[in-house]
A and B are shown apart, each in its own frame.
Chain A
Amino acid sequence: MAMVSGRRSTLNPDAPLFIPAAVRQVEDFSPEWWQLVTTSTWYPDYWISQQQQGADGFYDNGENENGGGHIDVADLLPESFDFDDMEDFFDTDAAEFDQGFDGRMYYQAPSEFGFGKNGEMVKKSSGNRSPRSIVEPAKYAEKPAKWGNQRVAAAPRNIHQPR
């Protein structure tokens, strides 16, 4: 029970929301849904919170990953790798072009020291590239959600405690 101005109230502030049955049956993005979004003062917030609940699982996983030491590593890696990545990408294109153009060039690659080195770099970049390609979308997806949460969390604090 919550204390309000010293008065004991039988109302529970943690009670679950009551959503009318008709509203619960509304399909997302249907005409009825749009009517609710545009005419109801509480429905847009309710709908967004439902979406966030669905997204929370993904965000939590992301947060756990970032929560560890990965944040620093993730921040550092892209900068250092971008230059190398571009270079490797260029070399990769060149290699593919050579292979397509002339089989001999491909056959001679192992014997040539410089090209062999490039070949190795290509392999490394390929290995490195795939994990990054997986990680980057997740990173971009996480940022907006995180920022949104921060904003929501920050606003009440600012109001409550101006600095």
Chain B
Amino acid sequence: MIKAQGLRKDFKIYRKQPGFVGSLKSLFYRSYETKNAVKPFDVEIERGQMVGLLGPNGAGKTTLMKMFTGIIVPSAGNLLVMGHTPFKRERIFQKRIALVMGQKSQLWWDLPAMDSFQLLRRYYEIEENQFKIRVAELSHLLEVEDILKVHVRKLSLGERMKVELMSCLLHQPEMIFLDEPTIGLDLIAQKNIRDFLIYYHQQNHATIILTSHYMADIEALCSRLILLIGGKKRFDDSIKKFDGILGHNKMVSFSFTNPVSQSVPFISPFNPKWNPKRTKVELSIPEEKLRELSQKILRELPVSDFNTEKMPIERVMKSLLENPHLLKD
């Protein structure tokens, strides 16, 4: 479905010195800097996969998406998406893909969503009947039947995102690119979007490429994860393997009713991290010892509460960004 070899994108950035004097200087001399947004990048993505692109700001995720969708032209390398060269922007290719941008609305601000849909129906040459079925189905799934006739600018962010998503799926794309689809949404809205995407993926077997800052999105949706740091691919495998990068320990935290002032020798091998008041401790426990050790702690210390970590990949991600050397090159 996607095949990239040595894909690269360089941007020329013009550096302007601040202020009026800087502007004057720039009339005569401009210094440019080349930024390698994406360094030689190879990837192969099969049909029906749901792949998460992960990385800090400026890592090149969005640049990669822009190249996959044909918005920008790669500086070098080979890229085929469903057998097409994206930046040639062939109509037949355009009809098979969709791009959802969380940060940017593609709908017409001053029109009800339904009017935008009608326009898209024409652009994508969707049959009237097909269109009606599709609108009914998607609006039911996303629970937006009531807002399709409201002006888009009057919708809440969550509602708008749903409508936005809907507009991109009307033409039944085989490949969907989602750039931060849940950005700025509250927890419930995030979950709604996620559930919808899972359902949609099961029903339609579309290939989905997703970028997000929310690990919960990636964890819930993607089976495969590609980590980008500084324009380079640093990890490309299953989420399970990603979890395992820092070893298979579980992070468990215990809270106590009273400060635990004495030292507790039996937990010291598990890298205890106490809070200053010593009413809470976080331990990194190997899976096989989890049961035994927890029981002992519960028995011997005044435990009021305990938690196991909800999202290991968030911790993995944080550690990797702080210590990139943990990854093999």
Q: Do A and B bind each other?
A: no
Interface of A toward B, CB cutoff 8 Å:
none
Interface of B toward A, CB cutoff 8 Å:
none
